[in-house]
Amino acid sequence: MLNQLLKRIYHKKSELLLVLERPEVPLHTNGSETDIRDFVKKKKISGGTRSDEGRRCRDTFASLKKACRKQGISFWQYLQDRLDVQKHRVPDLSALLKQRAIAATGY
């Protein structure tokens, strides 16, 4: 049984060693699970939404909140800044995410 397991691992050697080419990629999914944890808790408490529009709004705001948190930006300040059209003191999230991706990948 051990020999069969070792053979399977050996046949997947190239796939398993891909991580050496991309060390910035985590070896676990804890980050992804953390990203959806707030959504799952809210869904359990509220029982979901009443309409597709409500679901889309909830998902959009949850995504914005997560993106702000990852960028170190106050979600509340971001919303206030976007509602006050003249200010735009808080940087655009899409630009920050692009900069972060470029910094991580080097492209």
| pLDDT beyond 80 at 19 | no
Instruction: Report the chain's mean pLDDT, rounded to a whole number.
Output: 81
Q: What is the mean pLDDT of residues 19-35?
A: 73
Predicted confidence band of residue 32 (pLDDT cuts 50, 70, 90): low
The DSSP secondary structure of 7-33, one letter per residue, reads HHHHHTHHHHGGGGT-TTS-SSSHHHH
In angstroms, the CA 85 to CA 81 distance is 7
Q: pTM of the predicted model, to two decimals?
A: 0.54
Q: What is the mean pLDDT of residues 79-84?
A: 85
Residue 78: count other Cβ atoms within 10 Å of its Cβ: 20
Residue 68: count other Cβ atoms within 10 Å of its Cβ: 19
Give the per-residue pLDDT at 7. 92
Contact 64, 97 (CB under 8 A): no
Q: Which residue has the tokens 């070896």?
A: 27
In angstroms, the CA 59 to CA 81 distance is 20
Q: What is the mean pLDDT of residues 16-23?
A: 79
